[in-house]
Amino acid sequence: MRVVDAVAEWFESAGFTHYFGYNGGAIWPMLDALIDHPELEGIQAKHESHAVHMADVYYRTTGRIAPVLVSKGPGLLNAVGGVASAMHDPAAMMVFTGAGSTHVMGKGGMQELYYNGFEDAVSVFRPVTKGSWMLMRPDTVIDVLNHAYKTAITGRPGPVFIQLPFDVQLAPVDGTPEPPTRRLVSSRPRVSVRGWRPMAPSASMSRRCKPTVSPALRREHTTSALPSGRISAPAQLRRRGPLSPSHSRHR
């Protein structure tokens, strides 16, 4: 079994029924594997951005994800605007794209983004997605897809981006693809508030929490620190009042 065959089976096990996309050389192996799964209906758009927007509306109307398949280079760059819209609105989405083989990365392959690194396409999508991955190991593809799927639908939904190099798509793998589980990544046991009751403080706790002041500090605060014969400002204001005769003389 090739990696793309495992991904196609994973699509079926995840409950996908449709996928959108635009054909391109870097994604041919993926499309070839999907031919053997007629239960997955593929819809070709007229432009990569159209495919992204169709998947966006599909999620909003059905509550389910429909993968988007685009090619490398101009294909994936045409999808950035629609992916950003799905990130801000938001809508869950999985965008798959191809890439050149790993042994030609960084060597000026046609339509490759490599000027700052092999993962330049991932860097383009990272600011407008909840997660972006370039998968270099065939044996971890399904694990990453499960993580990406849960990331897309957990909490605030949003798009994720997965890039598969050409030789990784055709690499052989063994085993049965594991579908995403119902327990999400962010699931945590929570305390039930239905049976919660506030705890009354005990007598010992009240004694421990009662503030104490040393006798020396108490005497220091109660003894006036002003020189004899003088009175404090508040007492002087109380004696003279706010409108004393001295105030009127200075008017």
Residue 45 scores a pLDDT above 60: yes
Query: How many distinct structural domains can be found in the chain?
Result: 1
Quick: pLDDT tens for 12-37: 999 999 999 999 888 999 999 999 99
Question: What is the number of alpha carbons within 13 Å of residue 74 lying toward its C-beta?
Answer: 6
What phi and psi values does residue 174 have, to the nearest 5 degrees?
-120, 160
Quick: pLDDT tens for 137-181: 999 999 999 999 999 999 999 999 999 999 999 999 988 888 887
Q: Is residue 84 part of a domain?
A: yes
Q: Which residue has the higher pLDDT, 6 or 211?
A: 6
What number of H helices and E strands is found in the chain?
12, 6
Q: Which residue has the higher pLDDT, 125 or 102?
A: 125
Q: Is residue 137 part of a domain?
A: yes
Q: CB-based contacts of 188: which residues, under 8 Å, 6+ apart?
A: none
Give the residue numbers spanning the domain of 44. 3-169
Q: What is the pLDDT of residue 129?
A: 95
The confidence band for 211, taking pLDDT boundaries of 50, 70 and 90, is low
Q: Is residue 250 part of a domain?
A: no
Instruction: Dig out the tokens for 39 from the structure.
Output: 């239960």
Q: Is residue 77 part of a domain?
A: yes
Q: Is residue 176 part of a domain?
A: no
The CATH number covering residue 8 comes to: 3.40.50.970
The confidence band for 100, taking pLDDT boundaries of 50, 70 and 90, is confident
Q: Is residue 234 part of a domain?
A: no
Q: Is residue 211 part of a domain?
A: no
pTM of the model: 0.70
Q: What is the pLDDT of residue 213?
A: 59
Residue 186 scores a pLDDT above 90: no
Q: Is residue 79 part of a domain?
A: yes
Q: By C-alpha distance, which of 78, 3, 80, 4 is closest to 45?
A: 78
For all residues of the chain together, what is the average pLDDT?
A: 80
